[in-house]
Amino acid sequence: MGYTRQPGVSAALAPFFLPMRIAMSEANTESVESGYGWWVVIATTLMISVAFGSSYLVVVGLKPIAADFGWPRQIPSAGYAFAMFGAGVGGILMGLWSDRRGMAGPALTGAFCLGLGLIAVSQSNSIVTFLGIQLFIVGLLGNGAMTSPLLTNVTHWFDRRMGLAIAIASCGQALGGAIWPPIFRHAMEHHGWRETMLAYGLFSMATLVPLALVLRRPSPRMLSGGTAADKTALAASADQSQTLVLGLRPNTALALLCAAIIGCCVAMSMPLVHIVSYCSDLGFSAARGAEMLSLLLFSAFISRLAYGWLADRVGGLKTLLLGSSLQMLGLAFYIYAGSLESLYLVSIFYGLGYGGVVPMYAIIIRELFPASQAGWRIGVIFLFGTVGMALGGYLGGVIYDWTATYRLAFLTGVAFNLCNLALVIFMVRRQGNHGGGAERIVTVPA
Listed in sequence order, the residues at least 6 apart from 280 whose beta carbon sits closer than 8 Å to its beta carbon are: 63, 286, 289
Q: Comparing 132-136, 237-241, 408-412, which segment has the lowest mean pLDDT?
A: 237-241
| pLDDT level of residue 271 (50, 70, 90 thresholds) | confident
Partners of residue 244 on adjacent β-strands: 442
Average pLDDT score over the chain: 80
Q: Pick from 366, 381, 18: which is nearest to 162 by CA? A: 366
Q: Comparing 1-10, 218-227, 292-301, 391-400, which segment has the lowest mean pLDDT?
A: 1-10
The pLDDT value recorded for residue 237 is 44
Partners of residue 4 on adjacent β-strands: 441
Residue 244 has pLDDT above 70, yes or no: yes
| pLDDT level of residue 304 (50, 70, 90 thresholds) | confident
Count of CB atoms within 10 A of residue 406's CB? 24
* CATH 1.20.1250.20 for the 229-446 domain, yes or no: yes
pLDDT in tens, 138-152: 999 999 988 788 987
Rounded to whole angstroms, how far apart are CA atoms 138 and 161? 32
pLDDT in tens, 331-378: 888 888 878 888 888 888 988 888 878 888 877 887 788 766 666 788
| Residue ranges, CATH 1.20.1250.20, the chain | 36-226, 229-446
Listed in sequence order, the residues at least 6 apart from 241 whose beta carbon sits closer than 8 Å to its beta carbon are: none
The pLDDT value recorded for residue 91 is 86
Architecture of domain 36-226: Up-down Bundle (1.20)
Partners of residue 245 on adjacent β-strands: 248, 441
The pLDDT value recorded for residue 142 is 93
Partners of residue 248 on adjacent β-strands: 245
User: Phi/psi class of residue 70: alpha, beta or left (left: φ > 0; alpha: ψ in -120 to 50)?
Assistant: left
Residue 246 has pLDDT above 80, yes or no: yes
The pLDDT value recorded for residue 435 is 56
Q: Pick from 234, 416, 433, 446: which is nearest to 332 by CA? A: 416
* CA separation, residue 306 to residues 105, 186, 261, 444 (Å): 33, 31, 20, 35
Residue 133 has pLDDT above 70, yes or no: yes
